[in-house]
Amino acid sequence: MNARTLSPLDRLLAGIERALETVAGAPEANRPSPAHGVVHAELDDAERRHAAGLMRVNHTGEVCAQALYDGQAAFARHAENREHLLHAAAEETDHLAWCGERLQELDSRPSLLNPLWYAGSYAIGALAALVGDAVSLGFVVETERQVEAHLAEHLERLPAQDERSRVVLAQMQADEVRHAQAAQARGGIALPFPIPQLMQASSMVMKTVAYRV
């Protein structure tokens, strides 16, 4: 059964399953981690904790991305846009799995507040979709552009020798650029003031908290 023939109840149940898998499960990537084959570098305790904090932030960001796409897909007005959002969400699942794997390698864990981050992001995605597909896709464009900038910052902040984390973030960044371009090509509109600024502010709160908790 494909996404075009799913009933609303089917989509609801599938959404619940994805939510549980995202916040409490162990998502499996469709693509191998870019870190496979990259040599494990020696990190001292401070470097390991710092790298883990950054990767925890990125893992939480992918939880939020999953929730945003799930909320948008659940209430998308056109089946084609719903399928586009679910396809992008599948690639974000790769990111989620890669970050989770790297956290384990760094002897760390995901954010304890991931259920909260998921719920808030799902609500935002659903609200954007209810306004209309053009606004919903505009949210994708703005979100991915902000994530691209955030990843560039983290690439600079990682310990110099942590190539395993670096190659993961670099591939994620390339994917986010492509997602933004695809959403814009499908008709995503520029979001008016102060929505991008509010998105940046909420992102700063998430990054500050998830780095530690």
Domain region containing 115: 8-14+44-210
Choice among 23-27, 158-162, 180-184 with the minimum mean pLDDT: 23-27
161-184 in b/e form (b: 16+ CB < 10 A) is ebbbbbbbbebbbebbeebbebbb
Q: How confident is the model at residue 6 (pLDDT cuts 50, 70, 90)?
A: low
Phi, psi of 101 (to 5 degrees): -65, -40
Q: How confident is the model at residue 51 (pLDDT cuts 50, 70, 90)?
A: very high
List Cβ neighbours of 10 (8 Å cut-off, separation of 6 or more). 1
2, pLDDT greater than 90: no
Do the domain assignments include residue 50?
yes
Average pLDDT value for the chain:
92
For residue 3, the model assigns a pLDDT of 44
Smallest CA-to-CA distance from 147 within 78, 87, 69, 79 is with 69
Do the domain assignments include residue 85?
yes
Gap between the terminal Cα atoms of the chain: 40
For residue 8, the model assigns a pLDDT of 66
Do the domain assignments include residue 93?
yes
Q: How far is it, in rounded angstroms, from Cα 171 to Cα 130?
A: 31
Q: How many domains does the structure of the chain reveal?
A: 1
For residue 1, the model assigns a pLDDT of 41
Structure confidence by residue, pLDDT tens digits, 111-146: 999 999 999 999 999 999 999 999 999 999 999 999
CATH of the domain at 154: 1.20.1260.10
